[in-house]
Structure 1
Amino acid sequence: MPNSSASDATQTPRFVSIGECMIEMAPASIDGEYKLGFAGDTFNTAWYIKALSPSAQSRFVSRVGNDVVSDRMLAMMEGSGIDSSHILRSKERSLGLYMISLKNGERSFSYWRDSSAARQLADDRETLKAAIDDGDVIYFSGITMAILDTVGRDTLLDVVRDARAAGKTTVFDSNLRPRLWASNTEMTEAVMRAASACDIVLPSFDDEQDHFGDADITATRERYLSAGATTVIVKNGEGDVHYTHDGKTGMVTPPAATSVVDTTSAGDSFNAGFLVGITKHGIAADAILQASAVARHCISQKGALVPLPADMVLD
């Protein structure tokens, strides 16, 4: 991996994911009923990292409320082995909430997140810096950027740039969600600023084509390489995954999914599979195949966080 002591095979990598974890209302097995859980894009990746590699440290950095539901979220994180020691409490705010609706395996979301405490996660630069100082791999997303105000975005990117300069591997999933932004221009400009601070970028081609107007998947990859990333993995639904890593460019054709029940966490679980794989053996094609296997398993069941079979655990 670029710029990271995590590439030392004798060291267990320390992953730090930054973002928002929300209350999730997901469809239950009985039609019309829902079950309560906790999920969010960067948290989902942190959870799958720990599930794939129990020996790895997987820390989540955010803010939550000072209420009972926030207590339940933190207890769930700790029970899953996630390091929540750098999650601060807010007296005025609580957790955001989203509800999943499913149709033929594809999901749509309804959100209630205006008063989410996670919007304050970058309010204090030194606190944020301390949360990632002992990490090897620092991961955040376009959604992390979107929930912050302008000052918070600048603070986050300043801390991430310093982390990269200090030799940490910085990772970004563009995760384009136009409803969270004032305009497409604001979103795309912020995403490219974030990408310029990172070693690894993990975009999804369909969203990139829609919002950046990329002519093809090569254009997506080259745009992020031009921004300063050294590794770009372009996810492509059920199609070929295109990549550049360690100066080499290639393409991987994953096996097709045999069952699609819920695609809620497809990209998040893929990212975890790739990051764990690339830190363990450094071969991009193998890491992509592993990531695709994790995502296929994830989308075969309902919910964002799906237990993994024993043969998928890498430790």
Structure 2
Amino acid sequence: MSDRPRVVSFGECMLELSRQADGSARLAFGGDTLNTALYMARLGADVAYATALGPDPWSDELRAAWSAEGIDLDLALTDPDRVPGLYAIRTDDAGERTFTYWRETSAARNFFALRDSARAAEAMKRADLFYLSGITLSLFDDAGRATIHAIARAVRARGGKVAFDPNYRPRNWPSHSAAREAVAAFLPLVDWALPTFEDEQALMGDATPADTDARWRAAGASLVIVKQGPDGALASDGGPARLVETAPIQPVDTTGAGDSFNAACLHALMSGADLVAAVEAGHRLARQVIQHRGAIIPVDRMPR
């Protein structure tokens, strides 16, 4: 790999509507794979975000914001007939959040139908790290997911890594079985697995984090990090799995916690850190993120 590996994160960014303490609404942006790409860029990675936006002013604002963060926009395609999706966040007293989505006709869902998508797919195959999530898979039909599989196989054939967070969200799928089948089909193409135990429990029926670790390792993942929120993360890279704890903290808003963890962890791994150091880097950034409202914290609040 080069001194500064090329990262491609693939998925959807939407406009984000959240309620503020004074009762007003704040419009921002977010999306699991975009959040991870943005935080990786802040940490110094060479990151391109693959997605589709529209020709509208909101899309222009997204492009400008991403560019200002240092994200490469070459793979952010334009759908002339669609606009970004929208989601609203409600946060309870414990900092846990619920989401409402308006995304059925978003531009990102039409990515592989766009004229420039073949060029983008070829560029994605040249990534040193190809990152996506179960939400990415949920955007597309079987043909679209087959193209994603082909991209992942090409990345691995060149010696790159495929990193995947299942990030199961039931509302994104037509059925539980559809989600389970799509994720299970992608398992053998994953090098670095970043599941959250609560999601795996709901999607795959895992009884313990150790079950999640064992299932991913059996599927061929060389590195597995099972995120467990305040209980730390169970991590393995060929040897016995070990629990890497995190310092307790009272969250303000858990939006973006897993995405930011993934960013710092992946950046550390791509920079040569060992497994425990990478997980600890993930914990540090996630702890900072959950002390603020919204998925993206101010630049000056990034850990030093």
Q: What TM-score does the superposition give when structure 2 sets the normalisation length?
A: 0.94
Give distance in 2, aligned partners of 1:307 and 1:246: 37
1:248–1:280 CA distance, 2 compared to 1 (3 A)? farther
Give distance in 1, aligned partners of 2:190 and 2:72: 23
Alignment of 1:1-315 (within 5 A): 5=1, 11-31=3-23, 33-53=24-44, 56-104=45-93, 105-123=95-113, 126-257=118-249, 259-309=250-300, 312-313=303-304
Shift of 1:226: 1.2
Shift of 1:222: 0.9
Shift of 1:308: 4.6
3-state DSSP of counterpart to 1:281? coil
1:128–1:160 CA distance, 2 compared to 1 (3 A)? farther
Preserved CA contact (<8 Å) 1:52 1:312:
no
Preserved CA contact (<8 Å) 1:172 1:194:
no
Which amino acid in structure 1 is aligned with residue 17 of structure 2? M
- Structure with larger RCO (C-alpha < 8 A, sep 6+): 1
Preserved CA contact (<8 Å) 2:288 2:301:
no
Unaligned runs of 5+ in 2: none
Give distance in 2, aligned partners of 1:294 and 1:278: 15
Preserved CA contact (<8 Å) 1:192 1:227:
no
Larger deviation, residues 19-28 vs 129-138 = 129-138
Preserved CA contact (<8 Å) 1:97 1:113:
yes
Give distance in 2, aligned partners of 1:246 and 1:207: 23
Give distance in 1, aligned partners of 2:240 and 2:269: 14
Shift of 1:126: 2.7
Preserved CA contact (<8 Å) 1:122 1:153:
no
Preserved CA contact (<8 Å) 2:125 2:152:
no
Which amino acid in structure 2 is aligned with residue 148 of structure 1? F
Give distance in 2, aligned partners of 1:237 and 1:22: 24
Give distance in 2, aligned partners of 1:150 and 1:76: 32
Shift of 1:309: 4.7
3-state DSSP of counterpart to 2:212? helix
Shift of 1:277: 1.2
Shift of 1:282: 2.8
3-state DSSP of counterpart to 1:303? coil
1:106–1:311 CA distance, 2 compared to 1 (3 A)? closer
Give distance in 2, aligned partners of 1:96 and 1:131: 25
Which amino acid in structure 2 is aligned with residue 267 of structure 1? G
Unaligned runs of 5+ in 1: none
Give distance in 1, aligned partners of 2:291 and 2:302: 16
Alpha-carbon RMSD: 1.6
1:260–1:179 CA distance, 2 compared to 1 (3 A)? same
Superposed CA offset, 1:42-65 (max 9, x none): 000001101122xx2111000111
Shift of 1:162: 1.5
Q: What TM-score does the superposition give when structure 1 sets the normalisation length?
A: 0.91
Shift of 1:123: 3.5
Shift of 1:248: 5.0
Shift of 1:247: 4.0
1:203–1:311 CA distance, 2 compared to 1 (3 A)? closer
Preserved CA contact (<8 Å) 1:121 1:128:
no
3-state DSSP of counterpart to 2:241? strand
3-state DSSP of counterpart to 1:84? coil
1:311–1:213 CA distance, 2 compared to 1 (3 A)? closer
Shift of 1:159: 1.2
Preserved CA contact (<8 Å) 2:288 2:302:
no
Give distance in 2, aligned partners of 1:293 and 1:108: 24
